[in-house]
Amino acid sequence: VWGKGEIHTNEKEVTEKEVTLHLLPGEQLLCEASTVLKYVQEDSCQRGIYGKLVCTDFKIAFLGDDESALDNDETQFKNKVIGENDITLHCVDQIYGVFDEKKKPLFGQLKKYPEKLIIHCKDLRVFHFGLRYTKEEEVKRVTTTQPPQFCLFKFVLLATDPKNHTVMFDTLKDWCWELERTKGNVKYKAVSVNEGYDVSERLPAYFVVPTPLPEEDVRCFQGRGIPIWCWSCHNGCAILKMSALPKEPDDGLLQNQKSFLDGIYKTLHRPPYETVKTEDLSSNFLSLQDIQTAYSKFKQLFLIDNSTEFWDTDIKWFSLLESSSWLDITRRCLKKAIEITECLEAQNMNVLLLEENASDLCCLLSSLVQVMMDPHCRTRAGFQSLVQKEWIMGGHCFLDRCNHLRQSDKEEVPVFQLFLDCVWQLVHQHPPAFDFTETYLTVLSDSLYIPIFSTFFFNSPHQKETNMGRESQETQSKPLNLLTVWDWSVQFEPKAQMLLKNPLYVEKPKLDKGQRKGTRFKHQRQLSLPLTQSKSSPKRGFFREETDHLIKNLLGKRISKLINSSDELQDNFREFYESWHSKPTDYHGLLLPHIEGPEIKVWAQRYLRWIPEAQILGGGRVATMSKLLEMMEEVEHLQEKIDERHHSQEALPAEAPPLLRSSARLSSLFPFALLQRHSSKPVLPTSGWKALGDEDDLAKREDEFVDLGDV
């Protein structure tokens, strides 16, 4: 039963050494295979753990004979719903079969059964399962069983709403509260014209429009062509979004649309509204195809099968990273958000975002602007409320964009993941400005593929309510109250939840110049592309014998797309951008990211966490954080002693920060990296020597080998 965020599982005893399979309420076992070998990923040897591979209508799970060795690590970051060797069906990206040492995608009827399964996951885990010693009939069941069309509601019973102060924006009161908080209630009003979804199934039941706009206009084109309010700036300017009107071949209908839009624009340009700048995202910005193509290339950098493959691809790291264009797309999104911010903040203009359905790039940019301009959105409750408002109620098609039902690969576009990547760039550059950590963003991205939560499962609020109503009718019960992802107690124990909160968050603005820039941390692998030519220390470079001349030649052939100098920026934008970065940062005011090439980095914790070769044992950012927390603990202890002397009261002992007690034992990719896995970097991969040739040939290549100790 679900209740108060707690999960009580059924238990099914499995014969192999009493390994227990945990099933959620209603979860059904489909098939299983014994004597399956789960390979150790960090080498190409045939080592691993024997156990049972189980498939249910919710997940694929491996039950190892020797799991106790993996579970006794006191610092491991455990998820209560999904185990380390569990893969939800939504999280499966691709399944391959190995036939005579050749890897092929697994689908349809098989004439021959594979000797090995390779599963690539959407959270970038890679699993290898050997079937050589498994019975043929069990292999047949595992490789041919088709799970039923997965339905969220089978597992979801009752859950209580968490008291985490997240505004859900499912009532008129919530929208009125947001209008009052942002002082937008002077010029805008919350309307309930779509309360029964009579106007549009795409829009939420409640939303906000300009005050003079008649409700009849909202009904005209099913809510299309209507400026919908997103957020108001402190000076009264606002971000608005508008979905395009349907294309009509008839001239008379086109004239009606033109007259309708003219009336809308006249309303927006009359006092008390400021001048409106229109951003047509459908024609003047990224396309969804661009995002899809870039991420498809980018994720291949991290779906590594073994250690040898890692070091082979490491030789081409920079060229592969550049060719994916993912960092460039991230930079372009941040740049566009800064441009919108400049219009609102410096030019006192309203900004109207146009998009076909106003549910993809509109969500991304309006959310990014609010994170940059509104310190409330940089608290955890504020950020969760922002996602509810702009993405969930904003009608982002999570069901299609995440391809939960595997109906159309063309519709699968990681727009929300791109948003989280952009937010991570801000968190990484300005850590004290955020109440949450990068670990919070990482588990949020993972939660997209845990379908016990309704938050990221539907295309619209209407679709959610329709399916919920149908389900409750079929079961003849009251409407179901679905679990929300914002109740983190469902996934994590209180001790683990502490890692989601930033202990260095600045509660009040600080203008000390010494805090102007965030601390630079050392990493093992360079995660951004270099901007200008630089010299690398021969002692710490990839090649110990490298010369300055070689490095100069390599860096001279660098990138163009990811590195756009400030000369190309518009004068107003450049002045605004450079002026802000020349002043001390107010962490509770406007916050702008650096967008120069090297400043846009790979989100190491999310993308590299399953690759042992990318870890720095006892180092990286986590080691620095551990030292800072120790200092904070000592300061708190001293402060308590001072208070005790002043008030003559016994002070309570300071609570030690959880899970960060011994930084020497931690990996740079904590808390996700498995500490027992080590991998040694070869002097140079054998295949690398064959491919490189002599030094002159190497200098002609676009790939570069630089000091990997610096970021």
- Please, are residues 85 and 11 in contact by the beta-carbon 8 Å criterion? no
Question: What is the pLDDT at residue 308?
Answer: 83
Report residue 471's pLDDT band, with 50, 70 and 90 as the boundaries. Answer: low
In the chain, the amino acid numbered 164 is N
Alpha carbon distance 259, 242 (integer Å): 16
Question: What is the pLDDT at residue 337?
Answer: 97
Expressed in angstroms, the distance from the first to the final Cα of the chain is: 48
Q: Which of 249-263, 508-522, 660-674 has the highest mean pLDDT?
A: 249-263
Query: Among 30-34, 271-275, 357-361, 519-523, whose mean pLDDT is lowest?
Result: 519-523
Alpha carbon distance 478, 473 (integer Å): 8
Question: What is the pLDDT at residue 478?
Answer: 56
Report residue 21's pLDDT band, with 50, 70 and 90 as the boundaries. Answer: confident
346 pLDDT above the threshold of 50: yes
In this predicted model, which residue has the larger pLDDT, 42 or 326? 326
Question: What is the pLDDT at residue 519?
Answer: 43
642 pLDDT above the threshold of 50: yes
- Please, are residues 498 and 429 in contact by the beta-carbon 8 Å criterion? no
15 pLDDT above the threshold of 50: no
- Angle at CA 249, nearest 5°, toward 244 and 251? 100
Residues whose CB is less than 8 angstroms from the CB of residue 235 and which lie 6 or more positions away in sequence, other chains included: 344, 345, 348
- Please, are residues 526 and 711 in contact by the beta-carbon 8 Å criterion? yes
Average pLDDT score, the chain: 79
Report residue 271's pLDDT band, with 50, 70 and 90 as the boundaries. Answer: confident
Q: What are phi and psi of 297, to 5 degrees?
A: -75, -40
As beta bridge partners, residue 399 has none
- Is the N-terminal amide bond of 162 cis, ω within 30° of 0? no
Model pTM score: 0.83
Cα-to-chain-centroid distance, residue 198: 34
137 pLDDT above the threshold of 50: yes
Cα dihedral sign, 672-678-682-686: negative
| Phi-psi region at 250: left, alpha or beta (left = phi > 0; alpha = psi -120 to 50) | beta
Alpha carbon distance 60, 155 (integer Å): 16
Query: Buried b vs exposed e over 545-581: b needs ≥16 C-beta within 10 Å?
Result: ebeeebbebbbeebbeebbbeeeebeeebeebbeebe
Give 298-318 pLDDT, tens digit per residue.
Answer: 999 999 888 888 888 888 999
Give 376-410 pLDDT, tens digit per residue.
Answer: 999 999 999 999 999 999 999 999 999 998 888 88
Of 139, 155, 32, give the one whose Cα is nearest residue 90: 155
559 pLDDT above the threshold of 50: no
508 pLDDT above the threshold of 70: no
Alpha carbon distance 88, 58 (integer Å): 6
In this predicted model, which residue has the larger pLDDT, 361 or 39? 361
Three-state SS for 45?
coil
DSSP string, 221-237: TTTTT--EEEEE-TTS-
Report residue 338's pLDDT band, with 50, 70 and 90 as the boundaries. Answer: very high
Q: Which of 116-130, 236-250, 459-473, 532-546 has the highest mean pLDDT?
A: 116-130
Query: Among 182-186, 333-337, 663-667, whose mean pLDDT is lowest?
Result: 663-667
Burial of residue 116 (number of CB atoms within 10 Å: 0-12, 13-18, 19+): middle
Question: What is the pLDDT at residue 262?
Answer: 87
Three-state SS for 81?
coil
14 pLDDT above the threshold of 80: no
Q: What are phi and psi of 362, to 5 degrees?
A: -60, -45
Q: CA torsion 567→531→559→419, rounded to 10°? A: -80
Three-state SS for 452?
coil
Burial of residue 537 (number of CB atoms within 10 Å: 0-12, 13-18, 19+): exposed
Report residue 699's pLDDT band, with 50, 70 and 90 as the boundaries. Answer: very low
DSSP string, 118-158: EEEETTS-EEEEE-TTS-HHHHHHHHH-------GGGT---
Give 191-242 pLDDT, tens digit per residue.
Answer: 999 999 999 999 999 999 999 998 888 888 888 999 999 999 999 999 999 9
Report residue 474's pLDDT band, with 50, 70 and 90 as the boundaries. Answer: low
Burial of residue 667 (number of CB atoms within 10 Å: 0-12, 13-18, 19+): buried
Alpha carbon distance 17, 597 (integer Å): 53
In this predicted model, which residue has the larger pLDDT, 557 or 358? 358
| Phi-psi region at 276: left, alpha or beta (left = phi > 0; alpha = psi -120 to 50) | beta
Give 41-81 pLDDT, tens digit per residue.
Answer: 655 566 889 999 999 999 999 998 765 444 444 445 789 99
- Please, are residues 514 and 677 in contact by the beta-carbon 8 Å criterion? no
- Please, are residues 418 and 291 in contact by the beta-carbon 8 Å criterion? yes
Tell me which H or E stretch contains 688.
helix 686-692
Strands 238-243 and 350-355: parallel
Alpha carbon distance 231, 217 (integer Å): 21
Alpha carbon distance 3, 490 (integer Å): 10
In this predicted model, which residue has the larger pLDDT, 533 or 257? 257
Alpha carbon distance 159, 355 (integer Å): 36
In this predicted model, which residue has the larger pLDDT, 109 or 429? 429
| Average pLDDT, integer, range 128-156 | 76
Of 152, 150, 202, give the one whose Cα is nearest residue 407: 150
Question: What is the pLDDT at residue 429?
Answer: 96
Strands 126-130 and 29-39: antiparallel
Which residue matches tokens 């093992």?
524
521 pLDDT above the threshold of 60: no
Of 235, 260, 264, 263, give the one whose Cα is nearest residue 350: 235
Question: What is the pLDDT at residue 670?
Answer: 84
Residue 232: how many other CB atoms lie within 10 Å: 25
